[in-house]
Amino acid sequence: MTAAPGTRNPADGSALDPVAPTPIEEIPEIVRRARAAQPVWAHLPLSERIEATFAIARRVLERRAEAMVILSAETGKSEAECLLSEVAGIMDFAKGAARAAKKALAPEKIPLSVLDYPGKKVVVEAVARGVVGIIAPWNYPLGNFYKPIFPALLAGNGVVLKPSEHSPRSGAWLAEVCAEILPKGLVGVVQGGGEVGTALIDHVDALTFTGSVRTGRKVAARSGERLIPCSVELGGKDAAIVLADCDLGRTAVGVAMWGMHNAGQNCAAIERVYVEEAIADRFVERLGKVAAALHVAPAAEPTDFGPMQNEMQLRIVEEHVDEARAKGATVVAGGKRTGRGLGYEPTVLDRCTEDMRVVREETFGPVLAVLRVRDAEEAVLRANDSAYGLNGSVWTTDLARGAALARRLEVGVALVNNHAFTGILPETPWTGTKDTGPGIASSRHAYGTFVRRRTVLVDAGKNPDPWWFPANEDTYAFGEALALRALGSLRALLRLAGLFKKRIAAIRRLGAG
């Protein structure tokens, strides 16, 4: 009998105490509490909200030992990997998020012509949406919350977190930390599967979702029915293009790093590697040696990465590798389970073809599919032949050429000689194209989800505007003079002064009764 999601340590299969799902009927009250706390929070100066988010980051670091125990139990990763990938960088992220917030939330003054709009001033303000729902996946069960929760709070919103049912404890722990710092009820948490997520959408004012394309479409559709903003990031099938002039050793380690970090359970993991034929044999040999030297938890310490997080995803990885092998791919390294927990060996497949699932579908495991190409042109064309478009990278010593090729990739994040790590940069947009979805995480550009824009106009003018009632024999002449002035007529400009006075006089007579 298969264990319920989130009740087994993926590394050794040991039991974890189950986390009860939130009853559907309780979700409106959790959102209501966040909504009740939100107005006071939103009216605090941004500087105070920033200090509160810094306090959250500081508390996470102070309680990091607890976090690592929970993360390691839910993911099977070593505590060292958990510390580096999800805990140690939180303060730097909070500081960068604050800098982005200052830009995104600053009032914008709109310039107006003093001639056409005398006495008027316009400012555009950022207003908190209210309560933001955050539905996060299981691959980085704590870190996945950072991108949305910091801007949501900095913008003045309340927040309700929904962790994955595969990793419920990490999100609950983060909500507990937030409760120590923030007003009571401002950050809530709900637990459970898809039905809980659906119920949450029905009550919040905005939503961020990270997960599968299939679920993301449903989330976006439901949000659309409610007319609430929704930012979705729906995975990827990232490609790396390895050119013949690359630094072979650095590139082999870099491609392995970003293909197998976190056991490849990364939406921006390299899954397809397009290698120029001139160096393919040497590169594949080097990449295979790098993969074979990596250690999977808990078989050795220190470990390079942990096991697969759940049995369902491990089966997908196995299906992709088995099908590729059956269709002629060469297994250079790995290709099977480690034999402990849900571990899967770091795997390199050579001579893959476009008809293989490991090339077309998201594998989400420590598997690199190598495809040999004639040249860079073929590599770009084949890399772009994908349903996804999150990250893409070019590996070369010719930086100018690499940047030009990277800009031709149909992705949201294009890199040269690196991959994926911009996801930890809070002032840099994290976004994609195609089935990856249109959502933007991080940076000032993400704030369309967290705030609405409000225009405020103040008119200090003493005169009425000349286009007000009543319409009379001068109305058309005034409009004609405006049009001619816009075309550069000096005569029309001179006529406007006299027509303006006549219009104002007529309006004042109407107002005087």
Range of the domain at 98: 26-234+445-454
Same-domain check for residues 289 and 381? yes
Same-domain check for residues 449 and 470? no
Q: What is the pLDDT of residue 115?
A: 87
Same-domain check for residues 226 and 295? no
Same-domain check for residues 397 and 297? yes
- Residues in the chain, pLDDT under 50: 1
Same-domain check for residues 398 and 254? yes
Same-domain check for residues 314 and 378? yes
Q: What is the pLDDT of residue 513?
A: 83
Q: What is the pLDDT of residue 1?
A: 44
Instruction: Give the CATH number for residue 283.
Output: 3.40.309.10
Are 12 and 298 in contact by the 8 Å Cβ rule? The answer is yes
Distance CA 431, CA 438 (A): 7
Tell me, yes or no, whether 32 lies in a domain: yes
In DSSP notation, 316-364 reads HHHHHHHHHHHTT-EEEE--SB-SSTT-B--EEEES--TTSHHHHS---
Same-domain check for residues 335 and 374? yes
Q: What is the pLDDT of residue 298?
A: 79
Same-domain check for residues 92 and 141? yes
**Residue 134, helix vs strand vs coil:** strand
Enumerate the active-site residues: 233, 267
Q: How far is CA 197 from CA 334, 438, 439, in A?
A: 37, 20, 18
Tell me, yes or no, whether 361 lies in a domain: yes
